[in-house]
Amino acid sequence: METMVNWRGNQVNQNKHGGVRATLFLYLLVIVRSSINAANTNLVGFFRSTHNMTIARSVILSTNFGGATWILSILGAFVADSYIGTFKAIFFFGPFEILGYGLLAFQAHHSSLHPPDCNIKQNPNTDCESLQGWKTLLLYLGLFMVASGEGFMRSSTPAFGSDQFDTNDPPQMKQKIRFFDFAAFGTCFGATFGLVLVVWVQSFKGWNLGLGVCALFILSGLIIGATGTPFYRYRLPGGSPLTRILQVIVVAFKKRKIVMPEKNIEDPELPAADASDAEMLSGTKDLRFLDKALIYTGDTNSWSYCTISQVEETKSFLKMLPILFSAVLCYFPFALFFTLTAPVAATMNTHLGGIRIAPAALYSVPVLIQWIVLVLYNRLIIPLVGRYTSNKYSIVTTHLVRAGVGFVFAMIATIVAALVERKRRMAADPKDLSFLWMLPQFILVGLMEVTSFIELMEFFNNQLPERIKSLGSSMVFCIVGLSVWLDGAIVAVVSRVTRIGNDGRGWLDGMTFDTTRLDLFYGMLAVLEFVSLLNFAFWARKYLLRLRSQ
């Protein structure tokens, strides 16, 4: 608790600061953030309805926004850990999201009063939004501000909630586990609420009102979160784990021409030198080029000399990068389902009984599945697995196998999506088909997301040394963010390549889904997912063999 202070900068009083009471203020912030973040999956509809963008361009912009949000989460974690702390990261950057939604709402209101003047029927590939440059500027500025605010809050809110408990106190450790359980519950509840109510407002009452509601929700969450200021514990910034890793790489590079001695007699490192480390790590024979960071040249500055534990931390991190990058490829269908499926469902019969349902409400299905699986996972699966997998190798194998099973669900989901889209295209009138035909693929995507996301998070947290364990969440954020960005690149490449020999019209060109070939696009994704799954299995097996040989 030495690194913890109260809001006045004084030593914390465990009876007054932190604990369950402090986290009560954060739960509402989690719910509000999740509801608005879930509603952002409907942005393709915003781009198409208010800016008359082509399908391909709206998907690319939506995936770029989603990828930026995830990647900025990593930047948020680094800034919070190294410089300003998690509390300031939340309440300094959170207002950026409010202002961003305000700009988007203003732009949507102006577009409703002055729609772009262009003839889409004469030229179905016309992108009317490009005709008004100031709208483009406001759009990108608003999206960047929303992504910045959401990204910083996404990484800092769970970390700040974790800081409210003392991990050295067993009762508080149990309370910390319950906090994450309730936070997961709040995330699912908020996402369901946003996908049902907020998306309905956006779809049927106008985007100006819907985006204004988003701004008000975030504002109310931040106000209630700030109300708990006197009750929180605040961790002083202590440096980012990424800095320790970067130091090893820089030092090893600076000493690359020095011959590694068999025994570094002048090495000043004694057991006491690593006493500040949470665990003592022994030297390994992998990635020997990093061992040059251990060579003592008379300077013990952290950018000139590194300890054995620090070098081994870096080795552990680098050895997991093949798993990270292979998982990025397996996550390809994730963002495309959440950007393409709801707009396609809007062309079908969206009535359920006598009630008209917003197609984006389908996204609540994966959320509900995650809700159920999370409860089963924490209450049933983890205790059962812990009983039968006692050694480190078996535990890691379990995490990687389950992540692979999640990616199998993703592959099946893309196949089902291709078949459903084929059926929609062959129908005399898509309105004769219920949008519930898309339910199976959403169920599969929900199983994929909850299985792979949880297991990869557990894998990275299990394998990273104690001093850099906080990078586990950032590595999973990086997987999702990079995959979402690559989705945009895939859409752009496929649109351009498929125009060749097809009268200049690509699979995803045009303003309506009647002119697209999503069935072929989903089929291509299924093949790509299969190849990516084999690649993931190769690197996972290689990692397990290396772990077993240690």
Where does the pLDDT of residue 120 fall: very low under 50, low under 70, confident under 90, or very high at 90 and above?
A: very low
Q: How far apart are CA 148 and CA 381, in angstroms?
A: 35
Residue 537 pLDDT > 70:
yes
Task: Take residue 525 and report the two structure tokens written for it.
Answer: 């994704």
Asked if pLDDT for residue 502 goes beyond 50, the answer is yes
In one-letter notation, the amino acid at residue 46 is: F
Q: Model confidence at 530, in pLDDT bands (50, 70, 90)? A: very high
CATH topology identical between 1-118+128-239 and 317-549: yes
Looking at residue 15, its pLDDT comes to 80
Region 401-424: what's the mean pLDDT? 91
pLDDT digits (tens, 9 = 90+) for 124-158: 444 454 445 677 788 889 999 999 999 999 888 88
* DSSP state letter for 83: I
Q: Please give the pLDDT value at position 395.
A: 67
Q: Residues 228, 43: contact at Cβ < 8 Å?
A: no
pLDDT band (50, 70, 90) for residue 379: low
Fold of 1-118+128-239: Growth Hormone; Chain: A; (1.20.1250)
Quick check: 332 and 490 in contact, CB under 8 A? yes
Q: Is the pLDDT of residue 118 over 60?
A: no
Region 272-287: mean pLDDT is 60
pLDDT of residue 266: 44
- Give the per-residue pLDDT at 126: 47
Reported as a pLDDT band with limits 50, 70 and 90, residue 272 is very low
Q: Provide the pLDDT confidence category of residue 387 given band limits of 50, 70 and 90.
A: low
Residue 116 in this model has a pLDDT that exceeds 80: no
What does the block give as tokens for 208? Answer: 């100006």
Give the pLDDT confidence score for residue 533 in this predicted structure: 93
- Confidence check: pLDDT of 95 > 70: yes
For residues 95-113, average pLDDT: 86
Reported as a pLDDT band with limits 50, 70 and 90, residue 550 is low
Helix (H/G/I), strand (E/B), else coil: 310: helix
Pinpoint the alpha helices (H) of 53-196.
55-79, 85-113, 133-162, 170-193
The residue ranges of DSSP E strands in 323-467, in sequence order, are 351-352, 355-356
Q: Which residue is listed with tokens 């106000």?
A: 223
Which pLDDT does position 14 carry in this prediction?
Answer: 80
Evaluate if residue 539 carries a pLDDT over 90: yes
Question: Per-residue pLDDT averaged across 486-493, rounded?
Answer: 87
Mean per-residue pLDDT over the chain, rounded:
81
SS3 content of the chain, % helix, strand, coil (to 5): 75, 0, 25
**CB-neighbour burial class of residue 208 (10 A; exposed 0-12, middle 13-18, buried 19+):** buried
pLDDT tens-digit readout, 185-228: 788 788 888 877 888 888 788 888 989 999 999 999 999 999 99
According to CATH, the topology of domain 317-549 is Growth Hormone; Chain: A; (1.20.1250)
Residue 109 confidence (pLDDT) above 60: yes
Instruction: Give residues with Cβ within 8 angstroms of 371, minimum separation 6.
Output: 185, 188, 189, 192
pLDDT at 380: 66
Give 342-373 pLDDT, tens digit per residue.
Answer: 788 888 888 877 777 777 677 777 777 777 77
Using one digit for the tens of pLDDT, what is the confidence trace for 34-43?
A: 888 877 777 8
pLDDT band at 181 (very low <50, low <70, confident <90, very high): confident
Query: What is the structure's pLDDT at 276?
Result: 47
Cβ contacts of 23 within 8 Å, gap of 6 or more:
161, 164, 179, 182
Percent of the chain with pLDDT over 70: 87
* CA-based nearest residue to 418, from 324, 303, 504, 529: 529
Domain boundaries, the chain: 1-118+128-239, 241-261+276-306, 317-549
Give pLDDT tens digits for 416-448: 999 999 998 888 888 888 888 888 888 888 888
Q: Mean pLDDT, to the nearest integer, of 155-178?
A: 82
Asked whether residue 279 carries a pLDDT value surpassing 90, the answer given is no
3-state secondary structure 393-414: HHHHHHHHHHHHHHHHHHHHHH
Question: What is the rounded average pLDDT of the residues 167-192?
Answer: 78
Which 3 state secondary structure label does DSSP give 387?
A: helix
Distance CA 451, CA 413 (A): 14
The pLDDT confidence band at residue 392, using thresholds 50, 70 and 90, is: low
Strands 351-352 and 234-235 turn out to be unpaired
